[in-house]
Amino acid sequence: MEQQLDFLVDKVVAELQKKLAELGEKTSGPKAEAAVEGKAAPQQGIAPVTATKPQETHSAPAEPKGTALIPNPKWKEGLDELLASTPARIGVWRTGVRPLTKTMLQLRRDHAAAVDAVYGEVSQEVLDQFSLFTVETQYDNTENYLKRPDMGRVLTEESVRLIQERCQKRPQVQIVVSDGLSASAVDANLKDVLPSLMDSLKSYGLSCGTPFFVKGGRVASMDHIGEILEPEVLVLLIGERPGLVTAHSMSAYMCYRPRKGMVESERTVISNIHRQGTSPIEAGAHIGTILAKMLEQKASGVKLVL
Amino acid sequence: MNTKTTVLGQTYQFRDLKEIFAKANEDKSGDQLAGIAASDSRERVAAKQVLADLTLADIRNNPMLPPEEDEVSRVIEEGINEKIYNEIKNWSVAELREYILSHEAGESEIKRISRGLTSEMIAATAKLMSNLDLITAAAKIRVVTHCNTAIGQQGVLASRVQPNHPSDSVQGIKASLYEGLSYGIGDAVIGINPVIDTADSVKDILNMTKEVMDKWAIPTQNCVLAHVTTQMRAIRQGAPADLIFQSLAGSEKGNKAFGIDVKLLDEADELMRKEGTSYGPNFWYFETGQGSELSSEAHFGIDQVTMEARCYGLARKYNPFIVNTVVGFIGPEYLYDSRQVIRAGLEDHYMGKMHGLPMGCDVCYTNHMKVDQNDMDNLGILLSAAGVNFVIGVAMADDVMLNYQSTSFHDIAAFREVLGLRPAPAFEKWLEKIGIMENGKLTPIAGDPTIFM
Amino acid sequence: MDEQWIQSVGIDVGTSTTKMIVSRLRLGRMSSTFSLPRYQIVERQLLYASQVHSTPLLGFDEIDAEGIGAILQAEYEKAQISLSSIKSGAVIITGETASKKNAQHIVHLLAERSGDFVVATAGADLEGVLAGKGAGAEKRSQALQGTVVNVDIGGGTANAAYFQRGRAIATVTFHVGGRLIRLEREDVVTYVSPNIQEWLKAKGLHIAVGQRVGLAELTEVATQMARSMLDYLTGKERHVSGLLVTGPHLRGEFPVEELTVSGGVGQLMTGPPVRSMADVSRYGDFGPLLGYVLQQERERGSYPVRWLDPEQTVRATVIGAGMQSTEISGSTVHIKPELLPIKNIPILKLEFTEEQLADPARIHQEVAAIYQLGERLFDKTTGIPFALAISGVGYCSYALLQTIAQELADQYRHYFAESRTMVVICETDMAKALGQGLALRCKGEPEIICIDQVRVEYGDYIDLGEPISGTIIPVVVKTLAFDEKA
């Protein structure tokens, strides 16, 4: 302890003295040095990961991040500060009492994306990437899905059979993915949330059953699936009702021993998972922690102590 | 009580009042989901026909949800002026409708008669009214209320500025608030829906809004729409709340799902009376919306229009400063498309005004409904023409926290301009002083939020 | 868990006075139940403020550590605070006392007698910022468009911090203080700080040890000193006045809208008029006179700034240290509780650009470069050589996370094979995912501590406290240098 303190004090004081000695000289930042170092000493020993294609460019439309359209604001820097503080559509200005054309079209464009998300379908490629097979609820078609939430809670007979055939029974953790109200939420986030969740399960030493995809699912379809597979815990990754800031937001509903007749307060939820919201990789990692706690406490929802 | 009729050669026999009331409704996906809607237009008309001939006494004597079983029914019953009721109890619903629409019935006559009506009777008349009937009747009734300032006067369209933020950032809320104020929005209330339902968070937002109000001497009121118990905690800790908010349902069971009952509302009422800092006498803000009882399985087989009317019956007990129906928030399983939303908005506004309530409307929709911004333009203009007390102002109509669309700051400015309506008088004076408005028109600096920085 | 209190202590050992405070900070959940947990400090309460003690000295500038220890022990008893209950806080050793010898003594002593809290050591920039926070300048700047400056004038130095829109944007420190000139028997000069000699010469002022000094003569020195400091702060003249500056000079103009003066001399500004050498020398130095002439400058109004009274004067620094130094990291983190607390870890900053992140080879290079820098700057240790702060990542996909985790883990084990703990601090909310990725790769060699949502800069030092309720980490960032772009 003593020695360590000595050492630390020395370090701090040395740093201070160095600074005093510089007396106003600009300290060259680490960036400048790092750049030089980078050139002088290329790759020592450790091979870089093979350069693959650039990081994926996301196909989602550019988000409506504000640029101020006010021609002569009273305080320009202040306006920038306001815009930076909220995703709301402010600083948009007006013509008479109506919005400018650009602002109006932006709104319509984002609404179009939201409607597309409701009526769209999850890309098969994404499902294949994680070897998810597809089952369906009794929703029948999108219009009926919207009007009859009860039908999105029950799987078709064919689907029940398929699940019984292909899935491991009574797994510790069952992962289910569903389009819900936004197919594009699955397209946009699954490839970040799901592997991060799998890593987390690995860290906690939890075993996972056979994941699959439910088309036309509602949250309470968890109950039906719970009856079929009897997992200890189930997590449903499902597309949320799209908003205009993003149409690609996902929720994770988690439940300890799901079965028919579960009420809302027995489920634990992490919502707003998307690029600008709850970070998908961080959400995936945290879901693992929650599932581990559910298993430990044998509870979920309001009874779970996080 | 006659429950049978013949329409276009077909005879219809209805089981009870619940069935008549439900089938007399205009088409709503919520009534379909509940399995109580008319199967076709002909059955609908038959139900309307039977309803038209029922007397007010029939409705009162055959309660759909008896007072012994439900405290909302008790509140409605206890509020009835028996003398006025006795004068009209033999009127048919058709006669009541015609009286309300007649030239003999002015504002004071309607307000008087309203004291003898149950919520179910008011709902019954709505079922016999066309959209324009609903507008014509509601337009006669002005309800002026006062908290720090008065709203509801003839020729006034007030507004709630709703500067929500997805993580309750006080700076972010302030930014949208400044934008709203710069368009002349916020005379009804500065009202924020918080993400975080804790007394701390509520207190922070109340303090910030109060600071802005004090700094710029803004004649309005503030409110944070957390659960009533959270607001009470914050108020007891000294948070400056001008209004106290709660969502209401039309049955005791529905309210239980919201975590409230009449006793709790009474307690909150008492708290505001004793520790509230606003002038009053009105300090409640209620929100309602068709379908909420069905979604919590607390509708008892009663249709969503009638359940909505019962919310107003409960609200009436507390003399609120403002009430609004969040008409299109609940989703397509209750209101599927723009036709249904527009209808519901007009019904709710009319029924609220008939209860003597300071009725506003959140003209809104979610992205999974068959509705778009054009439909909101329509309903907004219709309600403004009907004399709605206030509507909701959100930056470009896009609420980034609740993920739905309402009416924008621009929209409210346009409603006012097109129909010659004004902000609340005290607020308009303030707008003139700040230089945002002149003779009811926005000035060239309006729309610049940095004037408040 | 919705809320939790932690106790925090602040200790300010200055050239002339020593004070301590105990406060309690309330952590509240600041996220909805549908989001990842996030806690913040939602309330700060002052529980106890000690009286202002004279700093016990041995000779002119060596602190009597034992004396400090006795003071603190008495104060802890008076405050009825048990050392084990203190979870965070900061010790500031200020002004001319901030020498190596003093720091060493005091830190040892505090480790024994002040509980196992998070200990910070001297740093003029941090001091200025904490005093500015304690004086209320940071808070006031949020309500203004312009810049607010607070200058905390103690015995040996004056620490100024500039705030704009709630952010500290610059600091500067002067050799201006009450004990730079000391007196006995009213008018005999016993000490003139060597640090002001050059400035005195440039100003044509003469004052020497042993001489007797008159009120007018000394008033001239004090007035010139006050004006030089104000000239520099307001940007009126920085050439001669710059001779009083210790450490880095200001880089920029920073037009000042509001000014507050805190510290002991700030308090003396409100004292009675100084009319005789007896008035001047009542504390054995020219502090009262310095306060008086500053008050006269304020009344004269010859500088185009608004002078305001600070919220705290003599206790501004200690209040700032005790109540404002602690932050809370993001609550989804990767830690091993038994490795905490850790103290005085220097920051290395890895700032990615979008182009770099798009190319795994460049990520490899950047990580190599920063580790090589770390290898040169810090000695080999089995402990923690530094904390790596990662910024510029923005949105992080799982694929990108894998690349970053692989590079950080592989190269760390190459360059710092002997280190048994690796500390990473992310700017954005990604610590749990990155920590998990690193831990899966490293398998305990080294152990991983990964936290996020704390802003640090190159040159900062960081302390991480014991976790509260498992994952809430109190963090004290000790700013030793100001980033020039700030």
Domain ranges of chain C: 3-122, 126-319, 329-478
A26:C436 CB<8 A? no
- Average pLDDT of chain A to the nearest whole number: 83
Confidence of residue C119 (pLDDT cuts 50, 70, 90): low
Q: Which residues of B touch A147 (CB under 8 A)?
A: 29, 32-33, 332-333, 336
A79:B450 CB<8 A? yes
The strand ranges marked E within C95-137 are none
**Domain span including residue B389:** 145-452
Confidence of residue A24 (pLDDT cuts 50, 70, 90): very low
| Complex ipTM over 0.90 | yes
Rounded Cα distance between A193 and B367, Å, is 24
* Helix then strand then coil, % of chain B, to nearest 5: 45, 15, 40
* Neighbouring chains to C with at least 3 Cβ pairs closer than 8 Å: A, B
Topology classification of domain C329-478: Glucose Oxidase; domain 1 (3.50.30)
Does the pLDDT of residue A147 top 80, yes or no?
A: yes
Average pLDDT for residues C269-295, to the nearest whole number?
94
Confidence of residue A163 (pLDDT cuts 50, 70, 90): very high
Chain A nearest-CA distance from C61, in A, is: 16
Q: Which residues of C touch B172 (CB under 8 A)?
A: none
A147:B175 CB<8 A? no
**Domain span including residue A260:** 124-303
Length of chain C: 486
Structure confidence by residue, pLDDT tens digits, C137-147: 999 998 888 99
A38:C428 CB<8 A? no
Strand B150-151 with B145-146, pairing: antiparallel
Rounded Cα distance between B72 and A303, Å, is 31
Is residue B27, in this structure, part of any structural domain at all?
A: no
Chain B nearest-CA distance from A276, in A, is: 11
CATH of residue B233: 3.20.20.70
* Higher per-residue confidence, A187 vs C105: A187
Structure confidence by residue, pLDDT tens digits, C398-437: 999 999 999 999 999 999 999 999 999 999 999 999 999 9
pLDDT of residue C483: 35
Chain C nearest-CA distance from B160, in A, is: 24
- Quickly list H helices, C378-455: 398-415, 431-442
Q: Which two tokens stand for residue C229?
A: 């400091």
B340 labelled ligand-binding = no
Is residue A38, in this structure, part of any structural domain at all?
A: no
Is residue B13, in this structure, part of any structural domain at all?
A: no
pLDDT of residue C362: 96
Chain C nearest-CA distance from B291, in A, is: 24
Does the pLDDT of residue A50 top 60, yes or no?
A: no
Asked if B348 contacts B131 with a C-beta cutoff of 8 angstroms, the reply is no
Q: Which residues of B touch C2 (CB under 8 A)?
A: 198
What burial class does residue B8 get, using C-beta atoms within 10 Å of its C-beta: 0-12 exposed, 13-18 middle, 19+ buried?
Answer: exposed
H/E element holding A253?
Answer: strand A250-256
Asked if C310 contacts C267 with a C-beta cutoff of 8 angstroms, the reply is no
- Quickly list H helices, B237-372: 252-257, 262-275, 292-295, 304-316, 338-354
Chain A nearest-CA distance from C431, in A, is: 7
Does the pLDDT of residue A38 top 60, yes or no?
A: no
What burial class does residue C273 get, using C-beta atoms within 10 Å of its C-beta: 0-12 exposed, 13-18 middle, 19+ buried?
Answer: exposed
Q: Which residues of B touch C32 (CB under 8 A)?
A: 195-197
In CATH, what number does C126-319 get?
3.30.420
pLDDT of residue C115: 52
Q: Which residues of C touch A35 (CB under 8 A)?
A: 369
Chain C nearest-CA distance from B196, in A, is: 5
Backbone conformation region of residue B280, classed left if phi is above 0, alpha if psi is from -120 to 50, else beta: left
Confidence of residue A44 (pLDDT cuts 50, 70, 90): very low
Structure confidence by residue, pLDDT tens digits, C347-378: 999 999 999 999 999 999 999 999 999 998 88
Give, as one character, the DSSP assignment of residue C93. E
A219 labelled ligand-binding = yes
A49:C360 CB<8 A? yes
Contacts of residue C16, Cβ cutoff 8 Å, sequence gap at least 6: C54, C55, C154, C155, C156, C177, C178, C179, C264, C283, C285, C287
Q: CA A298: distance to chain centroid?
A: 26
Q: Percentage of residues in chain C with pLDDT exceeding 90?
A: 57
* Higher per-residue confidence, A52 vs B215: B215
C429:A279 CB<8 A? yes
Structure confidence by residue, pLDDT tens digits, C425-480: 999 999 999 999 999 999 999 999 999 999 887 777 888 988 888 888 989 887 65
Rounded Cα distance between C155 and C396, Å, is 49
- Quickly list H helices, B128-163: 131-139
Identity of the residue in C34, C343, C407 whose CB atom sits nearest the CB atom of A272: C34
C368:A38 CB<8 A? yes
Q: Which residues of A touch B164 (CB under 8 A)?
A: 88
B448:A90 CB<8 A? no
* Neighbouring chains to A with at least 3 Cβ pairs closer than 8 Å: B, C
Chain B nearest-CA distance from C80, in A, is: 27
A78:B453 CB<8 A? yes
- Is residue A270 within 8 angstroms of chain C, CB to CB? yes
The per-residue pLDDT string of chain B (453 residues; one tens digit each, 9 = 90 and over) reads 999 999 999 999 999 999 999 999 999 999 999 999 999 999 999 999 999 999 999 999 999 999 999 999 999 999 999 999 999 999 999 999 999 999 999 999 999 999 999 999 999 999 999 999 999 999 999 999 999 999 999 999 999 999 999 989 999 999 999 999 999 999 999 999 998 888 988 999 999 999 999 999 999 999 999 999 999 999 999 999 999 999 999 999 999 999 999 999 999 999 999 988 899 999 999 999 999 999 989 999 999 999 999 999 999 999 999 999 999 999 999 999 999 999 999 999 999 999 999 999 999 999 999 999 999 999 999 999 999 999 999 999 999 999 999 999 999 999 999 999 999 999 999 999 999 999 999 999 999 999 999
The answer to whether the Cα torsion of A167, A173, A179, A185 is positive or negative is negative
Nearest C-alpha in B relative to C33: B196
pLDDT of residue B335: 97
Confidence of residue C324 (pLDDT cuts 50, 70, 90): confident
Q: Read off the amino acid at residue B95.
A: E
Identity of the residue in C35, C165, C351 whose CB atom sits nearest the CB atom of A272: C35
Structure confidence by residue, pLDDT tens digits, A54-92: 333 333 444 445 567 899 999 999 999 999 999 999 999
Domains held by chain A: number:
1
DSSP letter string, B379-426: HHHHHHHTT-SEEEEEGGGEETTTTEE-EEHHHHHHHHHHHT-B--HH
C31:B198 CB<8 A? no
Average pLDDT for residues C71-91, to the nearest whole number?
83
Identity of the residue in C28, C35, C43 whose CB atom sits nearest the CB atom of B198: C28
Identity of the residue in B336, B446, B451 whose CB atom sits nearest the CB atom of A147: B336
Average pLDDT for residues C218-232, to the nearest whole number?
96
* Residue of A7, A199, A265 for testing the chain C interface, max C β-carbons within 10 Å: A199
Would you call C455 helix, strand, or coil by DSSP?
coil
- Average pLDDT of chain C to the nearest whole number: 88
H/E element holding C216?
Answer: helix C215-234
The strand ranges marked E within A107-165 are 133-136
Q: Read off the amino acid at residue B241.
A: A
Structure confidence by residue, pLDDT tens digits, A191-243: 999 999 999 999 999 999 999 999 999 999 999 999 999 999 999 999 999 99
A280:C401 CB<8 A? no
Domains held by chain B: number:
1
CB pairs under 8 A between A and B: 146
Asked if B185 contacts B428 with a C-beta cutoff of 8 angstroms, the reply is no
CATH of residue A299: 3.40.50.11240
Q: Please state at what angle helix A183-204 crosses helix C431-442, rounded to 10 degrees.
A: 40
Confidence of residue C6 (pLDDT cuts 50, 70, 90): confident
* Higher per-residue confidence, B87 vs C17: B87
Confidence of residue A29 (pLDDT cuts 50, 70, 90): very low
Q: Which residues of C touch A251 (CB under 8 A)?
A: 34
Angle A144-A147-A152 (CA atoms, 0-180°, nearest 5)?
65
Is residue B33, in this structure, part of any structural domain at all?
A: no
Confidence of residue C322 (pLDDT cuts 50, 70, 90): confident
Q: Read off the amino acid at residue B342.
A: I
Structure confidence by residue, pLDDT tens digits, C174-183: 999 999 999 9
Confidence of residue C99 (pLDDT cuts 50, 70, 90): low
Q: CA A119: distance to chain centroid?
A: 21
Length of chain B: 453
- The domain covering C3-122 belongs, at the CATH homologous superfamily level, to ATPase, nucleotide binding domain (3.30.420.40)
Q: Which two tokens stand for residue C454?
A: 């704390």
Is residue B435, in this structure, part of any structural domain at all?
A: yes
Q: Percentage of residues in chain A with pLDDT exceeding 90?
A: 73
- Is residue B195 within 8 angstroms of chain C, CB to CB? yes
Lowest mean pLDDT among A258-262, A265-269, C49-53, C339-343: C339-343
Contacts of residue A101, Cβ cutoff 8 Å, sequence gap at least 6: none
A281:C401 CB<8 A? yes
pLDDT of residue C479: 63
Does the pLDDT of residue C60 top 50, yes or no?
A: yes
Angle C407-A274-A302 (CA atoms, 0-180°, nearest 5)?
105
Contacts of residue C194, Cβ cutoff 8 Å, sequence gap at least 6: none
A111:B417 CB<8 A? no
Do the domains C329-478 and C3-122 match in fold? no
pLDDT of residue C10: 86
Chain A nearest-CA distance from C223, in A, is: 26
* Residue of B196, B208, B452 for testing the chain C interface, max C β-carbons within 10 Å: B196
A51:C359 CB<8 A? yes
Confidence of residue A37 (pLDDT cuts 50, 70, 90): very low
Length of chain A: 306
Buried b / exposed e over C84-110, threshold 16 CB at 10 Å, is: eebbbbbbbbbbbbbbeebbbbbbbbb
Does the pLDDT of residue A1 top 50, yes or no?
A: no
Backbone conformation region of residue B423, classed left if phi is above 0, alpha if psi is from -120 to 50, else beta: beta
pLDDT of residue B196: 86
B179:A181 CB<8 A? no
Confidence of residue A45 (pLDDT cuts 50, 70, 90): very low
